[in-house]
Each structure stands twice: as C-alpha cells, then as structure tokens.
C-alpha cells in the first residue's frame, strides 16, 4: 500500500488514514516515498485524536482517550521508554522531542469537540483551527525539512478553515455550534481571511524547503473551497463544497509534480 517495503506499523498507519481521512491519504500517497514514513504516523494520530471525542457519549471516556495520547507524546518528548503501539512507535522514530512536546496542543484543543459549548470569540475559533490544522502541518513540515513556522501556519489555517467549512453540516447535525457568525456575511468574511492567509503564505514560499513541501500537499483543495464559500456562502450549510473527483486528482497531481502550493 505505502510502497518501499514499509514495516507493518507503517502499513497499519496508512490503512487507518485511508479509512478515516481519505483526502490526507491521497496527499500522502502523492508525496515521495520517504516522506510517507513521517506523514502516515502523524496523519494516523490525527485520525485517532479527531475521532476520540465522537466515539462515546461519555465526556469522561472521551477525556481519557485524549489523555492517553497526551501521555504517549509526553513519553516521546521525555526521550525515555515509549509504549509499544502501532502509531506511537513509528511516531517516536520521526518526531523530535521538541516537536512531540509541541504536539500536545493539537490534542488539548480537541477537548472543545467533547462538549457543546460554542466558541468563546473569534480568537478562540482561530486558536482551534491553528492548533489542530496548523500544528499538524507544522509537525509534518518540520519533521521533513527546513520550514518557517509562520508560513506553514498561515497556509494550514486556510486548509483547516476549508476543512471546517466542509464539516459544518455534520457538526450541526450533532447539535454543535461550529461558527460564531453563520450568516452569509460571516461565512464570506471567514473565507476571505483564509484566502488572505493563503496568499501571505504563498508570498513567502522560500520559507519552505523542497523536502518539507510534501507536508503541504494536504492543502491542495483549500483554495477552490474557500473561493466557493466566499462566492456562494450558502454552499457551506448545504454541504456543496468541493470539486469533481477528476478535478481534485488533477489538482493534486499538479501540486505534487511542480512543488508549487
């Protein structure tokens, strides 16, 4: 599946990502084989922590699931023995101690998903997107090569916002309040913020070394989705964001081939 004679743990990570996050699976498969050794464990961890709050109605159990991952990352950050696990074990081989410590924030921020409280304000919402999408992409990029964290986080904010827009119908079905302002003007304003940060990141492309660009493949759909949300905000609530399968695949192929994100 992953190619390159990868060990069982890595193949297990890839299979989990394929089932739970098919878009990131496609992005990882478009990356160089060596990069997949970093991307699949990180994306598999993200699948597990993203779904932890949703697999149970008991908030205490959800909290315990997230804490298990925080403890596992703390072991990697400490540099001592690390628990044997099909995701944690390959993570320990690709995350530095500093990055493992920073990864804690992408788990802690998921506590919002456990409960039904709305975001406190725009800063809270932005922090949620940054510490979920932004931290994940930063961990991947920095583990692969030289990368400017501010550039990665600008790009990842746009990616996270696009993904959030796509998730809104399901979030609302689960009786969550995903946006502070769900009006057309509110959605359009957020989409413009995402596009502005995307443009700012692209203006500093030199901040991302070629080896680290594989981490940014996961954002290949962000621009068209944000443009759709800006032009026709009602498509967000209707769940009508995105492009045809053929267009999606072509766009990913072009980004992988050119390295331009």
Q: What is the pLDDT of residue 23?
A: 98
3-state helix, strand, coil split of the chain in percent (to 5) is 75, 0, 25
Query: How far is residue 154 CA from its own chain's centroid?
Result: 13
Q: What is the pLDDT of residue 174?
A: 92
Instruction: Work out the angle at residue 129's Cα, subtended by the Cα atoms of residues 105 and 215, and round it to the nearest 5 degrees.
Output: 80
Task: Confirm if 218 and 38 have CB atoms less than 8 A apart.
Answer: no
CA of 85: how far to CAs of 10, 39, 107, in Å?
A: 11, 17, 18
Helix 184-202 / helix 149-173 crossing angle, nearest 10 deg: 150
Q: What is the pLDDT of residue 157?
A: 98
Distance, in Å, from the CA atom of 253 to the CA atom of 195, rounded to the nearest integer, reads 22
* Residue 220 DSSP symbol: T
Q: Where in the chain are the domains?
A: 8-115, 119-251
Q: What is the pLDDT of residue 255?
A: 97
Per-residue pLDDT of the chain (261 residues; tens, 9 = 90+): 454 557 899 999 999 999 999 999 999 999 999 999 999 999 999 999 999 999 999 999 999 999 999 999 999 999 999 999 999 999 999 999 999 999 999 999 999 999 999 999 999 999 999 999 999 999 999 999 999 999 999 999 999 999 999 999 999 999 999 999 999 999 999 999 999 999 999 999 999 999 999 999 999 999 999 999 999 999 999 999 999 999 999 999 999 999 999
pTM to 2 decimals?
A: 0.96
Q: What is the pLDDT of residue 84?
A: 97
147 forms beta bridges with 208
Task: Confirm if 9 and 90 have CB atoms less than 8 A apart.
Answer: yes
Q: What is the pLDDT of residue 63?
A: 97
81: left (phi over 0), alpha (psi -120 to 50) or beta: beta
Distance, in Å, from the CA atom of 254 to the CA atom of 156, rounded to the nearest integer, reads 19
> Exposure of 37 by Cβ count < 10 A (0-12 exposed, 13-18 middle, 19+ buried)?
buried
Q: What is the pLDDT of residue 2?
A: 57
CA of 47: how far to CAs of 3, 66, 120, 150, 253, in Å?
A: 21, 12, 25, 24, 24
Task: Confirm if 151 and 201 have CB atoms less than 8 A apart.
Answer: yes
Q: What is the pLDDT of residue 143?
A: 98
Residue that is written with structure tokens 């970093």 in the block: 38
**3-class DSSP assignment, residue 118:** coil
Q: What is the pLDDT of residue 5?
A: 58
């Amino acid at each position: 599946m992953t190619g390159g004679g990868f060990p069982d743990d890595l193949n297990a990570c890839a299979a989990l990502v394929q089932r739970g996050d098919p878009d990131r699976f496609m992005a990882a498969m478009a990356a160089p084989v060596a990069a997949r050794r970093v991307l699949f464990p990180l994306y598999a961890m993200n699948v597990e922590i993203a779904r932890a709050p949703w697999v149970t109605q008991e908030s205490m159990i959800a909290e315990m699931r997230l804490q298990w991952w925080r403890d596992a990352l703390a072991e990697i950050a400490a540099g001592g023995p690390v628990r044997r696990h099909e995701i944690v074990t390959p993570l320990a081989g690709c995350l530095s101690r500093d990055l493992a410590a920073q990864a804690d924030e992408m788990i802690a921020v998921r506590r919002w998903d456990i409960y039904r409280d709305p975001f406190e304000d725009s800063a809270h919402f932005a922090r949620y997107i940054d510490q979920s999408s932004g931290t994940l992409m930063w961990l991947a990029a920095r583990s692969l090569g030289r990368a400017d964290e501010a550039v990665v986080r600008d790009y990842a904010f746009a990616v996270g916002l696009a993904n959030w827009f796509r998730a809104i119908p399901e979030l609302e079905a689960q009786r969550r309040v995903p946006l502070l302002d769900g009006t057309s003007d509110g959605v359009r304003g957020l989409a413009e913020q995402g596009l502005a940060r995307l443009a700012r990141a692209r203006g500093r492309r030199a901040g991302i070394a070629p080896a680290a660009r594989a981490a940014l493949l996961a954002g290949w759909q962000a621009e068209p989705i944000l443009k759709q949300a800006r032009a026709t905000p009602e498509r967000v609530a209707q769940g009508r964001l995105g492009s045809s399968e053929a267009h999606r695949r072509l766009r990913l192929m072009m980004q992988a081939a050119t390295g331009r994100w």
